[in-house]
Each structure stands twice: as C-alpha cells, then as structure tokens.
C-alpha cells in the first residue's frame, strides 16, 4: 500500500531534504525512523527538494508499506525522529499517487526581519542594513512575475531540468511589524529560484536594479547586473496541493 506522510522540519542543521553522501538530510532521518519501526528499508519520495538550511511546513512524501495503527505509527515515528522534525499526518492514497509529480501547487514564504531576533534567528533572515527596500516598488514586481515565464535568469546553473518555465500564481510582499514577508506560489520552482527572486526584489527595492532590467531578465533570459541569493534561514516551504483530496487514515 502507498501512503503520503505529512511533516514539518526546521532545516537549520540539515543539508536539505534529499539524501546526500556527505551530510545529514531530512530524508535520511525520517527513513531511519521508518526502518526502526518496520524493520526494513523504506524509501521516501519527497514532494520536492529543499536546499541546506531551508525549512518546511506540511511537507509531503510517499512510501510503500502496511500500517495497522495510524496513531501508534505517528507516535512511534515522532519518538524515532529528531526534535526538529515533527510527523503530523498519514494519508492512504492510490498506488499510482506520487508525492512529487502529482503536486500542482507549491507555496513558499521568505521572512526578513529588520531586528536581530535571537529567538527566531533560525527561521528569519536578519536584514542588518539601515536602508530598507521600498515596499511600493516591491509590490510593483507582482505584475512582472505573475503568470507563466521563463525563469532561466532566476535559477542556479547546473540544474538538471528539461525547461525553466514556471507559472507563478501569487507573488505578494507585505510588511510585518519588524520586517517583510514574501509569499510566492507556483506550479513548480527551480533550484534556488525563490532565494534569487527575493534577492532581486531587495535590490530593486533599494534602487540597485530597475524594473526594466527585471523585465528584460524574464523576457530575454539575460542575467541581472547584480545577483543576490539571500540566506536560506528565511525560507520555508509552506503548502503543497494535489489535484485530488488527501484523506487522513483512520
């Protein structure tokens, strides 16, 4: 039987989601917990990669197995995983369901704080500079990024993707009492794309990059004169959607 598992993680101490030869990953830790419960190797397939230091809420992965007691399973897996990983829900799905390829909507948030918040430093980027990005200019970027575009200029080179087109459904900068938050949703994201979009937004809001240059980067796949990839700690994967409902296992 195939199951979707939903969990949160703080990515600070991990080299991203996907298992790697040189570094501890979230996938590795959850698979170790599953192996401890089932007594056999159980492979997880995640809804997407997150880079080192990036966080996730409501992350979805699938695995094959047989679960007799949902509540007991969730309890035991939480016991067997580190404190910065929280197992929240289990769903029984069709055998053909795929956590990554079936996902058709992904939402990220990037949180930037103007104050040095020591109790939140792992999940917010501390922006230490006196000059702040102009929120009105940041909001002007919404009209440029919404819809389908080629985001070649906003992804890390070396990615093994067949194309760099993405359809952005939401791009919204909003003020908080101590900083800014970007909420961005799309059908798919490229490697490093959100952090580069945030960096480009900040530079535009500071007057270092013009709206015309952003438009040229999108329409002609040319690099910006200044590229900025913001730190990972401010970025969280927030929401994953599928074209079918997920019903929790009883």
Integer Cα distance of 78 and 55 in angstroms: 18
First to last CA, the chain: 15
Active site residue 64: no
Per annotation, catalytic residue among 8, 51, 140, 250: 51
b/e sequence 86-122, b meaning 16+ C-beta within 10 Å: ebeebbbbeeebebeebbebbbbbbbbbbeeeeeeee
DSSP-assigned beta bridge partners for residue 109: 183, 236
For residues 40 and 66, give the distance between their C-alpha atoms in angstroms, rounded to a whole number.
12
Which residues belong to the active site? Answer: 51
């Amino acid at each position: 039987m195939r199951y979707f598992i939903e969990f949160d993680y703080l990515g600070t101490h991990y080299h991203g989601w996907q298992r790697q030869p040189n570094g501890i990953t979230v996938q590795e830790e959850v698979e170790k917990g599953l192996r401890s419960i089932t007594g056999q190797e159980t492979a997880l397939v995640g809804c997407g990669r997150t880079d080192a230091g990036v966080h996730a809420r409501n992350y979805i992965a699938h695995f094959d197995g047989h679960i007799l007691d949902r509540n007991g399973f969730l309890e035991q897996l939480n016991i067997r995983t580190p404190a910065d990983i929280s197992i929240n829900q289990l769903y029984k799905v069709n055998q053909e369901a795929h956590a990554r390829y079936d996902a058709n909507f992904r939402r990220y948030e990037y949180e930037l704080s103007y104050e040095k918040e020591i109790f939140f430093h792992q999940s917010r980027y501390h922006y230490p500079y006196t000059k702040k990005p102009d929120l009105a200019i940041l909001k002007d970027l919404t009209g440029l990024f919404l819809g389908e575009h080629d985001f070649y200029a906003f992804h890390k080179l070396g990615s093994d993707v067949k194309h760099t087109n993405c359809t952005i459904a939401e791009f919204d900068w909003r003020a908080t009492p101590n900083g800014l938050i970007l909420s961005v949703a799309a059908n798919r994201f490229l490697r490093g794309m959100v952090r580069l979009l945030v960096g480009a937004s900040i530079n535009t809001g500071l007057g270092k990059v013009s709206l015309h240059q952003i438009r040229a980067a999108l329409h002609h796949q040319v690099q910006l004169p200044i590229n900025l990839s913001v730190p990972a700690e401010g970025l969280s994967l927030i929401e994953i959607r599928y074209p079918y409902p997920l019903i929790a296992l009883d």
